[in-house]
Amino acid sequence: MTTSFETLLLLTPEVVLFIAALVAYLAAAFGGLRSGWLVAVIGLGIALLLAGGQPTDGAVIASGPVTLDGFSAYIRLLTYGAGLLLALVQAGDHWRAAVQRDGGGRRHGTGEEAGTFLILLAGLAIVGLANDLVLLFVGLELVSIPTYILLALKRTDAAGQEASLKYFFLSLVASALFLYSIVCLYGLGGSTSLPAIGSQLRSL
């Protein structure tokens, strides 16, 4: 079994969320109101089951840039559990809104919201699993980019658009500073692996 395949197995719940996000985006175009958040609920349920089925009995499973231990497993289960509850609330709210408005007619935007929400949750889980600075940066970007997209969705007022734009520029500055920090740590440790950097810093 290759290291890449082991890493993919550890990230199976996140892969499920990315697939569910893609389906939710397609549902926004073809499925109407209820499909987007329904897909999110199903995807989160499957991801939660897969994450719960992975070993969390104190063993540390490391595969390349990913490490699964008790803490990262807790962060992942907490993220997916809270996300599933929020998705259920959103699905119920959108269903009732459609029925009250026009007897179940189509409402646009819910698929985009649900898909972006799933990507954000996957990013949070990846941050908890990351054992490498590059993967940590990717996880943080998967959190920050969907966040300001969600802020901008359905905000047509000037104040909402201004807030989204300011958050976008703040995110760009934060990402640039984080990349600069990665370069500095790589220069000190000679690697982007967190354990390798830690060992190198302890030897200084």
Determine phi and psi for 132, rounding to 5 degrees.
-145, 140
Distance CA 145, CA 194 (A): 24
Name the band, by pLDDT with cuts 50, 70 and 90, for residue 1. very low
From the list 101, 90, 146, the residue with the least C-alpha distance to 123 is 146
Name the band, by pLDDT with cuts 50, 70 and 90, for residue 154. low
> Residue ranges of the domains in the chain?
3-158
Provide CB contacts within 8 A for 93, sequence distance 6+.
none
Distance CA 164, CA 94 (A): 23
Instruction: Write the pLDDT tens digit of every residue in 27-78.
Output: 877 765 556 888 999 999 999 999 988 876 656 677 678 988 888 999 999 9
Residue 180 Cα distances to 116, 127, 133, 156, angstroms: 27, 18, 12, 35
Report, as an integer, the average pLDDT of 95-104: 59
State the DSSP H helix or E strand holding residue 62, giving kind and residue range, or none if neither. Answer: strand 61-63
CB-count burial class (<10 Å; 0-12, 13-18, 19+) for 57 = exposed
> Does residue 137 have a pLDDT over 70?
yes
Instruction: Write the pLDDT tens digit of every residue in 171-203.
Output: 899 999 999 999 998 888 888 888 888 888 888
> Does residue 150 have a pLDDT over 60?
yes
Percent of the chain predicted with pLDDT > 70: 84
> Does residue 133 have a pLDDT over 70?
yes
**This prediction's pTM:** 0.86
> Does residue 10 have a pLDDT over 80?
yes
Name the band, by pLDDT with cuts 50, 70 and 90, for residue 148. confident
In this structure, of 50-54, 144-148, 150-154, the range with the lowest mean pLDDT score is 150-154
β-sheet bridge partners, residue 62? 67
Provide CB contacts within 8 A for 173, sequence distance 6+.
none
CB 72 within 8 A of CB 128: yes
Over its C-alpha atoms, the chain yields an Rg (Å, rounded) of 19
> Does residue 109 have a pLDDT over 60?
no
